[in-house]
Amino acid sequence: MAQLIFDRPQVLKAIDAVVERTMRMDLTWDWPCGVAYYGICEAFEATGEPRYLDLVKARVDELLEGSCSKFVTHIFPSFKKAD
């Protein structure tokens, strides 16, 4: 199998730029927000950069303290109450 050859510093710089751009987006507490922050968590997994998790944690804490709904079905839309 052929080995993947890439410029690691360039890839890390691109990931950082995507994370920074994502954090500047005006996201409400909805599905796109969760997808965006999941992507940042994946960036952390790929790079080990702890700042990425700090950014997501701070934003989620901000959203939970703000005016967003705290109903579990808004946080986990697929959650269904047990009978």
pTM of this structure: 0.71
CA separation for the pair 76, 73 (Å, rounded): 5
Per-residue pLDDT reduced to its tens digit, 35-53: 999 999 999 999 999 999 9
With cut-offs at 50, 70 and 90, classify the pLDDT of residue 16. very high
Would the pLDDT of 11 be above 90?
yes
Burial group, residue 43, by CB count within 10 angstroms (0-12, 13-18, 19+) = buried
d(CA 59, CA 18): 16
pLDDT value at residue 77: 55
At residue 78, what is the residue type?
A: S
Q: Is the dihedral of CA 59, 63, 66, 70 positive or negative?
A: negative
Give me the pLDDT at residue 34, please.
Answer: 87
